[in-house]
Amino acid sequence: MFLEYIVQLIQAMLQVLWFSQKTLSNTLNIYVKSNTGKTLSVSLDPKWDVKNVKEVIAPKLGLPPDELKIIFAGKELEDSIIIEDCDLGEQSILHAVKTKRRTSSSPATKPLNEALKDLQLANITEAEDAPLTEEEAVVERKRVHFYVYCASPCGGVREGKLRVRCSSCKSGAFTVDSDPRCWEDVLKPHKISGHCEEEACPDGAVGWAEFYFKCSEHTSQGEKDQAVPLYLIRANLREVPCLACTDVSDPVLVFPCEASHVTCLECFRQYCVTRLRERQFVSDEQLGYTLPCPAGCPDSLIAECHHFRLLTQEQYAQYQRFGAEEFVLKAGGVLCPQPGCGAGILADPDCIRITCVNGCGFVFCRLCLQGYHNGDCDSREQTAAVGSSGYSVDPHRAGAARWDEASRVTIRVMTKPCPECRTATERDGGCMHMVCTRCNFHWCWVCQTEWTRDCMGAHWFG
């Protein structure tokens, strides 16, 4: 036994020496964190596989390579996976933990391929080796991405990538028991269970996954670097026309109404600007200052205010100011009626003569919102123009601009062949990870190629 240990030690030293002498033509600088709190800065060749990475970092952690497992984005990386296929960015973080023997009461952490096999999402019919139609070929060339608002350093709407960590200790050394299937699995807590490898985790080995998003367009700034998910903005894989202009654009915004009406981002900006100019945003007690579906659908208010970051900085600042003023109005205050002002003013309930002190200085009557006057208010009805021509919706267009209806039609009429054995496959929901029940090939419904880490980061579901 002692002799075998010496031989393994010498082999490990030779492997480290070989890698240290190897010239890297293209380097990727990442961090490796162990579950004991140790952090390593490592330069890797993107062409290496995970086994090579283990052979480099294992001696630094005092472990044999075969007793080490690497975890990234909620999955254990198998030895054969190539680094450049892992959706790793500069200064990303990998988690290295020692393999443990678990009792039957503890959930086993499966290798990547084994864990992904749990979702049988394909309904297989008879084999079909027909070429793709032109419409299908257009869909194949597209890639679904998540979209986020990156406050810093990008300061705007960007493409994002999905990540996962332990909800208790916030460690990324966490493997999920199942894939997320919808936005609810990602946005709401305690939906996906998993196994935490962090020794100091207060919940122990069994815990809940916490999903979060990072901007994919700047260098990672550590595990605390995250962005706000804009879950209403989606790649228009279904070719749904815009509710307002009827053009097919990409990406689009899908309103949270029952019909899931779709609008292009340019028309959404115009809709926001028009309603902002006319102060026709809705001040909701739970959701704040927001907008409903322009088709007039009930229960369609936008819950995440960062979707309004599609406006310019000046427009968004005006949106925030108007929202604050509407809050003042609900608290018993009044808004200055002077065009271009609209400042919120808190005054005594019995005060009729109101002065816009911190705004334009206009003095007006609280009852009729006209310039202050003696005597009774003018009984003539003061009406404002409603419904600017800047954004309009044709009711006949609304029927065609429905996201869910397009999804149902697409699923009903469209199948895709397995990339490996060409067996026709029909997807009826769930995530984009497909498993062929005939040849057991793991593939991506969107890319129609082998399932990769990039697919998990960019379009794991919906």
Q: Report how far residue 194's alpha carbon sits from residue 186's, in angstroms, rounded to the nearest whole number.
A: 14
Distances (CA, A) of 373 to 264, 343, 354: 47, 21, 11
89, 378 Cβ separation under 8 angstroms: no
On whether the CB atoms of residues 457 and 87 are closer than 8 A, the answer is yes
Q: What is the dihedral sign for C-alpha 445, 451, 457, 458?
A: negative
CB atoms under 10 Å from CB of 231, counted, come to 20
Query: In the numeric block, which tokens belong to residue 115?
Result: 């864990």
Question: Is 431 annotated as catalytic?
Answer: yes
Q: Pairing state of beta strands 262-264 and 252-254? A: antiparallel
Alpha-carbon distance of 298 to 396, in angstroms, equals 18
**Dihedral sign computed on CA atoms, order 446, 447, 448, 453:** negative
Contact between 459 and 146 under an 8 Å Cβ cutoff? The reply is yes
Dist CA 58 CA 69 (whole Å): 10
Residue of 201, 431, 444, 447 with catalytic role: 431
d(CA 445, CA 460): 10
Cα gap 304→10, rounded to integer Å: 57
- Helix, strand, coil percentages (3-state) for the chain, rounded to 5, are 25, 25, 50
Asked, as a colleague might, if the bond just before 180 is cis with ω within 30 of 0, I would say no
254: Cβ–Cβ under 8 A, 6 or more apart, which residues?
232, 233, 234, 260, 261, 262, 403
Residue 361: exposure state from Cβ atoms within 10 A (0-12, 13-18, ≥19): exposed
Would you please indicate which residues are annotated as catalytic (active-site) residues? 431
